[in-house]
Amino acid sequence: MNFRYNLLTNNIFRRLGMPSPPPIPVLGELYNAMKIGMYANDLDLVGKYGKIIGVYEGNAPVILLSDPDLLRKVLIKDSYTFMNRRPFDGAAGILEHSLIALKDEHWKSVRSIISPAFSTAKLKSMFGLMNDVSEIYKKRLLEYADKQETFDIKQLNGEFTLDNITTCLFGVETNSLGNENVVLIKYLKKFFAFSLANLFLIVLFISPRLAKFLGEKGFSILPRDSVEYTTNILNQILDRRRQRVERRNDFIQMMIDHEENVKNETEDHHEEEHQWKTTKKTLNDKEILGQTFAFLFAGYETTSVLMSFFFYVMATQPQIQEKVYDEIQQVIGNNEVTYEKLSELHYLDMVISETLRMYPPIFRFERVASTDYQLADYRIPKGIVISVPVYPIHHDPQVWPEPEKFIPERFSAEEKGKRDPMSYLPFGDGPRNCLGMRFALLEVKLGIVKALRAVQIQQCEKTEVLLYPDPIESIIDPIKYYFLKNNASRRFGIPGPTPIPFFGELFHIIFKGLYQHDMDLVRKYGKLVGIYEGPKYTILLSDPELLRKVLIKDSHVFMNRRSVEGVLGPFDHGLTQLKDEHWKNARAIVSPTFSSAKLKAMYGLMSEVSDMYNTRLLELADKQEMFNIKELSQEFTLDSIGSCLFGVEINSLQNENGVLVKHLKQIFGLSLANFMVIIFLISPRFARYLGSKGYSILPNNTVDYLTRLLNQILDRRRQHVERRNDFIQIMVDHEEEMEHNEQQAGTSTKTLNDKEILGQALIFLLAGYETTSILMSFFFYVMATESEVQERVYKEIQQEIGDNEITYEKLNELHYLDMAISETLRMYPPVIRFDRVAGTNYKLGDYQVLKDTLINIPVYAIHHDPTVYPDPEKFIPERFSVNERSKRDPLTYLPFGDGPRNCIGMRFALLEAKLAIAKALRVIEIQRCEKTQIPLKLNKLKTLAPKEGIWLCVTRRSR
């Protein structure tokens, strides 16, 4: 967990001495926000750590600030130091030209140009247009009243605010209240629907550099098709206004008028004697479009949320609704609702303010420090984000007694005078507060007054009495809703945990480890569990009868494995990735490599490598050194595979710092490639896109090196420069044989192309290098910690072979060694899981499984099932005696998988492991040392390997 270590050692808040929760790898506090909601997590943080807290959002340090005095400094007194918001460089698309993202003087200039659009005079000029929209809104409510229908007020309010924004600010008659299905409405609503754009926000938090790169490639927070469609419409409006085809009192017109005024002023100045130029700024088209998108993006959702919660309160607190109605009747009656009369509805103002306090649409806003700054007792660095948690501020019981009670009188003039203004921040504060605040409140008040004069809001059977807000700005709950609504386990009745948005079970895996989490899931939910890995639905299957169907009886339905297309380079052509007939053909060609005859032919090469392994062990015995058996076993397996399968004398046992060894260790080391794995699990489509741009799960330099090496070997074999009994030679011989047959008989038979040969070669190299060395390492660990087992293995070797040559046939007679290796594979299976994919819809037990569902087989959990293996944490080789094995279902032991798609290199791996073990134990005794871990700490995210190696020592056996 290098990421976690990096956060702990470089934790800025620890250095500052600022209260802070332990940082969570990759997501930071986003994980908890996803789990319980941003508003609830902010409440917990403030309650636990106070009013100035250091947190991580992704890998970015953020200060959560809710102290009124400090907020006054940040937002007002020293606002010049905190002028900007969090940057979205390269990732916000058209919004980068808006007030949301602009910085410093650029922001100040644009804000000064736009501000007059929301002056009292401009709002009054728009009032008629708002009034027209409010009339349509009222009619829709009356239709529902006449039909006595229940309805979602949030959806209706979204249509109302959308119509107001588009007609008053852009001069577009969307009429979504009258026709919900017009093309423009569909595109606009996509801005706020759950989509892959939200994943882009997660990428932005986790890796701003990657987000910037993707932004340069056309990715954005906003849906591309919606942006393009809306941009085209707004460009048409701009053209018509500039050509004076139409004119309206809206934002677009104000920008055009400003543009023309500046142009006229410039021309006037040129005619004067000194010919000096004006420096007055206008907005370019991108900036105008950026502001329109910002108004649309911010106003549509937040205003409709405010109105929705207001009407919810009216329905659940009828006495307040009656007071609001009485005030409206007293001040306005049945007369026309004017701008001035709305200003006289003071109780309505209080109710709206209390709604905004209790249900603030924006949970947080933020500022960025432009220089180092002394914030109370802490010297905070330039660039750090200050995030203001509005929800906890609005629910602070010291400021708002009984904060969960709705009490409009909190906002009487007298009560407001008693409070610090910084304790109420629904629109932010200071120079960078919400520019559209007055517009939003005006449209809300007008819509409410028109509605409450005509209808009474009531509860219905679908009304939630205890309503909690969705974290609108945080994008979390819409995603959570998507997962819950589309939860396959829920639809099909399959037991399983509630999915965490985006990540599913990945975060539990990161913290507990894959092997432990699988154990917990199986214990809690049974032997058929439905889970999410990212957005991908997966079934965790450990029931032997059902496994027999999936792996053997109906293996034709479950022929393929999880696809990782586009992100593995040459590995895309390996057996682990090939599908259907392509896989069957390649497997048939490759399988003879591991026949008994071929293994016997390779035996001499294996024996030579085993002798070098012995030599190294004896050297360590003579030096009485402690050593990591995992590293030594990796060198052995690498030399065996290189020599026996590819004819390469790697000789890593004598030169552990060789170039090839270094490259292979890169693949199994923790690196940024692991981030690509996370991206793949969250969004395979996105990962494939990154793969097409050169990103890979595997280090590119290592893949390039291995590809060049294997191409050189292929060339030498085809040119008959050399010949060996190995995998490469079998492929070349098959190629030549098929070519000869084709010439003789005119038939065409499939061979592997170079990419496929390279793919298989790399798979054998990498899979064998790691898994076989893990098996050997754990075996020797057991020998050191279970000395009586080691003694029995040694005695069997002496009894069956003595000091004679260890032959292929003699190895097969070491039955107790077989049992000890099998028990090692049971207790420490190198591959924690393997998978299959359903090729069609399938009836699995009592449940319907859809096509393309991933079936994951949790090997570790199966091997540690106490109902099958009593005392599963005890090492008992006798479990694998012929008698004991016959009592168990074969599907309860799966270290190499099962069925047609089991591990093709199983026999090779077991042969090299047995040979090395037998040669080693004849000459040395394995012992513990002070660095030997008991129990072992295991890796959490990769294969089941020791986290910190396995440290042992050895002594020579006396003859």
In whole angstroms, what is the distance from residue 183 CA to residue 192 CA?
A: 15
Is the previous residue joined to 935 through a cis bond, with omega within 30 degrees of 0? yes
First CA to last CA across the chain, in angstroms? 45
DSSP 3-state of 814: coil
CA dist., res. 68 & res. 46, Å (int): 13
Separation of alpha carbons 660 and 667, rounded Å: 11
The conformation of residue 897, written as its DSSP 8-state character, comes to B
Q: Identify residue 355 by its one-letter amino acid code.
A: T
In a 10 Å sphere around its CB, with 0-12 CB exposed, 13-18 middle and 19+ buried, how is residue 815 labelled?
middle
Q: CA 356 to CA 427: how far, in whole Å? A: 9
3-state helix, strand, coil in the chain (%, to 5): 55, 10, 35
Task: Look at the block and give the residue holding tokens 């359903």.
Answer: 838
Asked if residue 123 lies in contact with residue 339, where contact means CB atoms within 8 angstroms, the answer is yes
Place of tokens 């995030």: 387
- Measured distance CA(220)–CA(197) in Å, rounded: 7
Residue 923 burial class via C-beta count within 10 angstroms: exposed 0-12, middle 13-18, buried 19 and up:
middle
434 annotated ligand-binding residue: yes
Least Cα distance to 472 among 62, 220, 191 occurs for 191
User: How many other C-beta atoms can be found within 10 angstroms of the C-beta atom of residue 895?
Assistant: 25
Cβ(96)–Cβ(290) below 8 Å: yes
CB 914 within 8 A of CB 608: no
Phi/psi of residue 800, nearest 5 degrees: -85, -30
Beta-sheet strands, E only, within 350-481: 364-368, 373-375, 378-380, 385-389
What is the Cα–Cα distance from 115 to 109, expressed in whole angstroms?
A: 10
Q: Which of 505, 561, 491, 578 is nearest to 536 (CA)?
A: 505
Q: Where are the alpha helices (DSSP H) in 499-650?
A: 506-512, 514-525, 544-548, 580-590, 596-623, 629-646
From CA 705, how far away is CA 661, in angstroms rounded?
11
**Known binding-site residue numbers:** 434
- Positions at the binding site for heme: 434
